[in-house]
Amino acid sequence: MSDTTITPDTPAAPSSPKREFRSLYAIDDLTRKRNAAERRFKAYGIGAILIGLFFLAVLAYSIIKEGIPAFTRTIVEVEFALTQEQFDAAEKELFKTKAYENFFIGALKTQLDESGMDVPFDEAAIERLVGKTGGTIREFFKSNPDQLGKPVEFELAASSRVDGYRNGRVTRETITDSRFLQKSDLDIVDALVEAEVIKTVFNWNFITGADSGVDNPGGAGIGASVVGSFFMMLVVLALSLPIGVAASIYLEEFAPQNRFTDLIEVNISNLAAVPSIVFGILGLAVFIQFMHLPQSAPLVGGLVLTLMTLPTIIISTRASLKAVPPSIRDAALGIGASKMQATFHHVLPLAMPGILTGTILGLAQALGETAPLLLIGMVGFVARGYPDGFIAGFTEPNSAMPAQIYTWAARADFAFYEKAWGGIIVLLVFLLTMNIIAIILRRRFERRW
Amino acid sequence: MSLFWLFLIILAIALVGYVLGRARALSSAGGERSALHSLPSYYGANVAMKAAVPAFLLLVIWLLAQPFYVNSEVSGLIPDTEIAEGSSRDLVLAEVRRAARGLENAVRSGAMTEEFASNARADISDVTTRLKEAGQIVTSEISQPILIAAQRYRSLSSIGNFYMSIAVILIAIGGALWGLRETKAEFRARNTVELGMRAILVGAASIAILTTIGIVLSLVFNTAEFFRIYPASDFFFGLTWAPSFSGRGGTSELGIIPLLWGTFYISFVALAVAVPIGLFAAIYLAEYASSRVRSTAKPLLEILAGIPTIVYGLFALLTVGPLLVSVFGDNGIGIMKAGTSVMTAGLVMGVMLIPFVSSLSDDIINAVPQAMRDGSYGLGATKSETVKQVILPAALPGIVGAVLLAASRAIGETMIVVLGAGAAARLSLNPFEAMTTVTAKIVSQLTGDADFASPVALVAFALGMTLFVVTLGLNIVALYIVRKYREQYD
Amino acid sequence: MNEMPKFEQATEMTESKISAKKVQVYYGDTHAIKDVDIEIQPRSVTAFIGPSGCGKSTFLRTLNRMNDTIDICRVQGSIKIDGEDIYDPKVDPVQLRAKVGMVFQKPNPFPKSIYDNVAYGPRIHGLARNKAQLDDIVSSSLQKAGLWDEVKDRLSEPGTGMSGGQQQRLCIARAIAVSPEVILMDEPCSALDPIATAKIEELIDELRANYTIVIVTHSMQQAARVSQRTAFFHLGVLVEEGSTDNIFTNPEDKRTQDYITGRFG
| Chain B residues close to C103, C-beta within 8 Å | 378
Per the prediction, chain C carries an average pLDDT of 88
pLDDT at B333: 79
Per the prediction, chain B carries an average pLDDT of 85
Within-domain flag for C265: no
Quick count: other Cβ atoms within 10 Å of Cβ C141? 24
Across the range B13-36, mean pLDDT stands at 86
Asked if C96's CB is within 8 angstroms of B379's CB, the reply is no
Q: Which residues of chain A have pLDDT under 70?
A: 1-20, 116-118, 123, 131-132, 178-180, 447-449
Asked if B394's CB is within 8 angstroms of C108's CB, the reply is no
Of A263, A277, A377, the CB nearest to B439: A277
The total domain count for chain C is 1
Domain B253-489 in CATH 1.10.3720.10? yes
pLDDT at B274: 96
Of C44, C94, C243, the CB nearest to A11: C44
Based on the number of CB atoms within 10 Å of its own CB, is C30 exposed (0-12), middle (13-18) or buried (19 or more)?
A: exposed
Inform me whether the pLDDT recorded for B258 exceeds 60.
yes
**pTM of this structure:** 0.84
% of chain B beyond a pLDDT of 70: 89
CATH number of A223-445: 1.10.3720.10
- Which residues are CB-contacts of A264 (< 8 A; sequence separation ≥ 6)? A247, A251, A255, B205, B206, B208, B209
Residue A117 — φ and ψ, nearest 5°? -105, 140
Strand order in the sheet with C237-243: C84-85, C73-81, C18-27, C30-40, C237-243, C229-234, C45-49, C212-216, C182-186, C100-103
Inform me whether the pLDDT recorded for C10 exceeds 50.
no
CA angle A380, A386, A388 (to 5 degrees): 135
Substitution target in C92, C176, C244 with the highest count of A β-carbons within 10 Å is: C92
The CA-atom distances, in angstroms, between B241 and each of B255, B291, B355, C116 are: 5, 52, 34, 53
Q: Where are the domains of chain B?
A: 3-187, 253-489
Task: For residue A201, give the H/E element and its range.
Answer: strand A198-202
| Chain A residues close to C249, C-beta within 8 Å | none
| Chain A residues close to C8, C-beta within 8 Å | 1, 4
> Chain C residue with minimal CA distance to B382?
C94
Asked if C103's CB is within 8 angstroms of B380's CB, the reply is no
Q: Distance between CA atoms of A289 and A293, rounded to whole angstroms?
A: 8
Q: Which sign, positive or negative, has the C-alpha torsion B460, B464, B467, B469?
A: negative
Please, how many CA atoms are within 13 Å of residue A70, restricted to the half-sphere of its CB?
28
Pick the closest to residue B299 from A51, A439, A446 (CA basis). Answer: A439
**B372 touches C: beta carbon within 8 Å:** yes
Asked if B212's CB is within 8 angstroms of A375's CB, the reply is no
- Which residues are CB-contacts of B414 (< 8 A; sequence separation ≥ 6)? A275, A276, A277, A370, A371, B309, B439, B440, B442, B443
| Chain C residues close to B290, C-beta within 8 Å | 71
Question: Residue B344, Cα to own-chain centre: how many angstroms?
Answer: 27
The strand pair at C100-103 and C182-186 is best described as parallel
> Chain A residue with minimal CA distance to C212?
A11
Of A263, A280, A405, the CB nearest to B314: A405
In this predicted model, what pLDDT tens digit does every residue of A291-312 receive, in sequence order?
A: 878 888 899 999 999 999 999 9
Q: What is the DSSP letter of C264?
A: -
Residue pair B441/B448 in contact (Cβ under 8 Å)? The answer is no
Asked if B214's CB is within 8 angstroms of A286's CB, the reply is yes
**Gap from A387 CA to chain B (nearest CA, Å):** 15
Phi-psi region of A405 (alpha: psi -120 to 50; beta: other; left: phi over 0): alpha
3-state secondary structure chain B: CCHHHHHHHHHHHHHHHHHHHHHHHHHHCCCCHHHCCCCHHHHHHHHHHHHHHHHHHHHHHHHHHHHHHHHHHHHCCCCHHHCCCCCCHHHHHHHHHHHHHHHHHHHHHCCCCHHHHHCCCCCHHHHHHHHHHCCCCCCCCCCHHHHHHHHHHHHHHHHHHHHHHHHHHHHHHHHHHHHHHHCCCCCCHHHHHHHHHHHHHHHHHHHHHHHHHHHHHHHHHHHHHHHHHCCHHHHHHCCCEECCCCCCCCCCEECCHHHHHHHHHHHHHHHHHHHHHHHHHHHHHHHHCCHHHHHHHHHHHHHHHHCCHHHHHHHHHHHHHHHHHHHHCCCCCCCCCCCCCHHHHHHHHHHHHHHHHHHHHHHHHHHCCHHHHHHHHHCCCCHHHHHHHHHHHHHHHHHHHHHHHHHHHHHHCCHHHHHHCCCCCCCCCCCCCCCCCHHHHHHHHHCCCCCCCCHHHHHHHHHHHHHHHHHHHHHHHHHHHHHHHHHHHC
Of C106, C111, C178, the CB nearest to B379: C178
**Gap from C174 CA to chain B (nearest CA, Å):** 8
The CA-atom distances, in angstroms, between A417 and each of A71, A409, A424, B314, C22 are: 13, 6, 11, 9, 70
Inform me whether the pLDDT recorded for C16 exceeds 90.
no
Asked if C102's CB is within 8 angstroms of B378's CB, the reply is yes
For chain A, percent helix, then strand, then coil, each to nearest 5?
65, 5, 30
The b/e string for A21-56 (b: 16+ C-beta within 10 A; e otherwise) is eeebeeeeeebeebeeebeebbebbbebbebbbebb
Quick count: other Cβ atoms within 10 Å of Cβ B416? 32
In this predicted model, what pLDDT tens digit does every residue of C224-242 receive, in sequence order?
A: 999 999 999 999 999 999 9
Residue pair B273/A55 in contact (Cβ under 8 Å)? The answer is no
Q: What is the DSSP letter of C68?
A: G
**B369 touches C: beta carbon within 8 Å:** yes
Q: Distance between CA atoms of A154 and B222, rounded to whole angstroms?
A: 58
Query: Could you tell me which residues of chain C have a Cβ less than 8 Å from any Cβ in chain B?
Result: 64, 66, 69, 71, 93-98, 101-104, 106, 108-112, 120-121, 124-125, 171, 174-175, 178
In this predicted model, what pLDDT tens digit does every residue of A190-240 receive, in sequence order?
A: 877 877 778 888 888 888 888 877 777 777 888 889 999 999 999 999 999
Q: Distance between CA atoms of C92 and C71, rounded to whole angstroms?
A: 17
**Gap from B473 CA to chain A (nearest CA, Å):** 10
> Chain B residue with minimal CA distance to A374?
B447
Asked if A35's CB is within 8 angstroms of B208's CB, the reply is no
> Chain C residue with minimal CA distance to B369?
C108
Give the domain CATH number at C158: 3.40.50.300
**Gap from A281 CA to chain B (nearest CA, Å):** 7
In this predicted model, what pLDDT tens digit does every residue of B46-93 receive, in sequence order?
A: 999 989 988 998 998 888 888 778 888 887 777 777 666 556 676 677
ipTM: 0.88
> Chain B residue with minimal CA distance to A368?
B308
CA angle A56, A61, A62 (to 5 degrees): 105
Inform me whether the pLDDT recorded for C158 exceeds 50.
yes
**Gap from C52 CA to chain B (nearest CA, Å):** 19
Of A10, A24, A25, the CB nearest to C10: A10
Pick the closest to residue B310 from A370, A280, A227 (CA basis). Answer: A370
**Gap from B54 CA to chain A (nearest CA, Å):** 19
Inform me whether the pLDDT recorded for B316 exceeds 80.
yes
Asked if B314's CB is within 8 angstroms of A421's CB, the reply is yes
Residue pair A189/A117 in contact (Cβ under 8 Å)? The answer is no
Residue C261 — φ and ψ, nearest 5°? -90, 5
**Gap from B381 CA to chain C (nearest CA, Å):** 6
Pick the closest to residue A228 from A16, A379, A330, A352 (CA basis). Answer: A379
**B290 touches C: beta carbon within 8 Å:** yes
Task: For residue A271, give the H/E element and its range.
Answer: helix A259-271
**Gap from C260 CA to chain B (nearest CA, Å):** 30
Asked if C108's CB is within 8 angstroms of B375's CB, the reply is yes
Residue pair B478/B408 in contact (Cβ under 8 Å)? The answer is yes
The CA-atom distances, in angstroms, between A261 and each of A250, A267, A318, A323, B482 are: 10, 10, 14, 21, 20
Asked if B377's CB is within 8 angstroms of C110's CB, the reply is no
Q: Distance between CA atoms of A122 and A128, rounded to whole angstroms?
A: 10
**B381 touches C: beta carbon within 8 Å:** yes
The CA-atom distances, in angstroms, between B63 and each of A23, A307, B176 are: 87, 20, 22
Within-domain flag for C2: no
Asked if A11's CB is within 8 angstroms of C92's CB, the reply is no
**Gap from B367 CA to chain C (nearest CA, Å):** 14
pLDDT at A200: 83
Of B279, B309, B317, the CB nearest to A370: B309
**Gap from C86 CA to chain A (nearest CA, Å):** 8
Q: Distance between CA atoms of B360 and B398, rounded to whole angstroms?
A: 9
Residue of C159 and A170 predicted with greater confidence: C159
Which chains reach chain C with 3 or more Cβ–Cβ distances below 8 angstroms? A, B
Of A11, A21, A30, the CB nearest to C82: A21
Quick count: other Cβ atoms within 10 Å of Cβ A227? 21
**Which residues in chain C belong to E strands, given as ranges?**
18-27, 30-40, 45-49, 73-81, 84-85, 100-103, 182-186, 212-216, 229-234, 237-243
Across the range B348-367, mean pLDDT stands at 92
pLDDT at A2: 42
| Chain B residues close to C125, C-beta within 8 Å | 380
Confidence of residue C49 (pLDDT cuts 50, 70, 90): very high
**Using only C-alpha atoms, what is the Rg of chain C?**
18
Of C95, C104, C178, the CB nearest to B371: C104
Q: Distance between CA atoms of C44 and A12, rounded to whole angstroms?
A: 10
The strand pair at A198-202 and A72-81 is best described as antiparallel
Phi-psi region of C235 (alpha: psi -120 to 50; beta: other; left: phi over 0): left
Which chains reach chain B with 3 or more Cβ–Cβ distances below 8 angstroms? A, C
pLDDT at B265: 95
